[in-house]
Amino acid sequence: MKVIEYNRNKVVKYAEKWAYERNPKYYNFDNLGGDCTNFASQCIYEGCKVMNYTKTTGWYYNNANDKSPSWTGVEYLYGFLINNKAIGPHGIEVSKNDIEIGDLVQLSFSKKLYSHSLIVVKKESNNLDEIYVASHTFNSYNRKISSYQFENVRFVHINEIYK
């Protein structure tokens, strides 16, 4: 396997273009539990252009009926990124100090379950008032993380892409 560069600028450009609209190449899951992780996956894919087609445990999208659980599921995406040792993006959970544009943020609105995925599009400092994200379901671009009413937050830094 070869390690390739994650293009963070492409992630941000994609997020800016599609934050308030839906890319017709992908199904809109707003009415099936939300589109946030689908959008986050699209953004991450734009930065790496590599999918992992391993059934059940991979990370891929062909159409609404042929996709991995990790493409649209908050906890599944986290699990894939953290545990991936094969083709595709790999991430590590970090503090807010270590995230960069193009990284993943997930919010929990209850103590037990993370249920919202966002993409970092701008970071001016390590303060949540100066870390900005984009997302679907609660459509936003350049929104401060601190503007959400959440109980817990986790940050996943995309550190390698395997091809």
pLDDT in tens, 35-45: 999 999 999 99
Is 77:41 a contact under the CB 8 Å cutoff?
yes
Residue 91 has pLDDT above 80, yes or no: yes
Give me the pLDDT at residue 56, please.
87
Residue 141 has pLDDT above 90, yes or no: yes
Taking residues 96-113, what's their average pLDDT?
94
Res. 147 pLDDT band, cuts 50 70 90: very high
Looking at the whole model, is its pTM more than 0.85? yes
Of the candidates 42, 65, 43, 68, the residue with the CA atom closest to the CA atom of residue 55: 68
Give me the pLDDT at residue 111, please.
75
Give me the pLDDT at residue 1, please.
84
Residue 39: enclosing H or E segment and its boundaries? helix 36-48
Residue 112 has pLDDT above 90, yes or no: no
Res. 124 pLDDT band, cuts 50 70 90: very high
Distance CA(10)–CA(86), nearest Å, equals: 23
